[in-house]
Amino acid sequence: MFEDYASVFDLGDILPRDKSRLREDIGMKKKIGKFSKEIREITKQETCYYCGNKFTSFCNSHSIPAFVLRNIAENGEVLTLNAFIDNPIFKVDKGVNQAGTFNLICRNCDSKIFSEYENPENYCNVPTQKMLGQIALKNNLMAISKRMFEINLYDKAEKELGLPSELRRVKNETNTLDLNEYIESYKKAKKSIDKNSTSDYYLCYYEKLNYVVPIAFQGAIALIADFNINIINNIYNMSPEYKVKNINICVFPLQNETAVFMFIESGDKRYRNFYRQFNKLDRDDRLLALTYIMLSYSEEVYFSKRIEKEIFPNEQLQKISRNTSEILSPTPFVDPILVAKEAYDLSKRKLIPNLLLEKYKIN
Ligand SMILES: [Zn+2]
């Protein structure tokens, strides 16, 4: 599971060695595997995050529904973003069962609380409020699990790997702020589902493609800037009063078609300009912008092996897929939000292949 987390920070931060040497170090994979296993142990909860009951066994919850991943899998396997990044430490392909998983809730809850949105039959129509609530609930759980892991990771790296304590402090200050925001959003989603709300989420984009795309994605993303390069989220604002706002994005390949949609919490004005600009683009350009956003902002994107030969290696794809770690390790003396704006400039989408177009379809 470490690979799920690895690209959110620069590995050089915690491992006191030259990154270029990692490729040669056969023992490194094992060391990281052991280290991350220990952190997973520390991070393990005693009770289910959702129902509060004591755990009897852990459930491997999937960030992306397994039924979606199966639609793009070849022999039960999908490719991770590392196929672009080519980081020798982390596995490039993963079994559907290991792709994007987290352990925070019990089996019983996992089988119940996502059931509407994890039912392929519910995609004949526009997703319901309940489905959006369940997706938001899971995106937040996934993010909570990640932040908990990272906090323990930096604490342990300081103690055992000699990570400078100032770096640990800065990283975990951000992680704690993030964690609290995700907990808040999680509670909102839970409440929305419990009271059967019909208005807590706003579906700002929905499209059904009549072919199966080679990418699957589900996640909450804090967009930094819109199409006019106006800031949406200043992720470097450390004030506890400043809230980072996420947009939920789903690309779900179904059996013969694909559901693509975005939604936000109702009343969240921060994304208004962005989705208005987005919806004014023509259809192909919307798909291109989505491809760019998924690949540059998230490490939880999964690909079908069927597109491998056509797009690997693609220099631009590699470059944008590395975005996450680069902007989180900004150079001193430069305003980091300006660096981030440049790194995530949406006009760069024109440089990458539009992987959601029909020409890349796998079915
Ligand atoms: Zn439970």
The reported pLDDT for the residue numbered 13 is 42
Dist CA 239 CA 242 (whole Å): 5
CA of 67 to the centre of ligand 1 (A): 22
Dist CA 193 CA 296 (whole Å): 31
CA of 258 to the centre of ligand 1 (A): 31
CA of 47 to the centre of ligand 1 (A): 8
Q: Mean pLDDT per segment of 10 residues, for the chain of length 363 residues?
A: 37 40 54 80 89 83 91 90 65 72 90 95 96 97 92 90 88 91 96 94 97 96 94 87 94 97 95 97 97 90 82 71 55 72 88 92 90
CA of 49 to the centre of ligand 1 (A): 7
Task: List the domain range (segments joined by +) for residue 147.
Answer: 2-360
The reported pLDDT for the residue numbered 5 is 36
CA of 110 to the centre of ligand 1 (A): 7
Which phi and psi angles does 111 have, rounded to 5°? -80, -15
Dist CA 162 CA 147 (whole Å): 21
The reported pLDDT for the residue numbered 23 is 43
Please count the structural domains in the chain.
1
The span from the first CA to the last CA of the chain, in angstroms, equals 30
Neighbouring C-alpha atoms within 13 Å toward the C-beta of 108: 11
The reported pLDDT for the residue numbered 12 is 38
CA of 256 to the centre of ligand 1 (A): 34
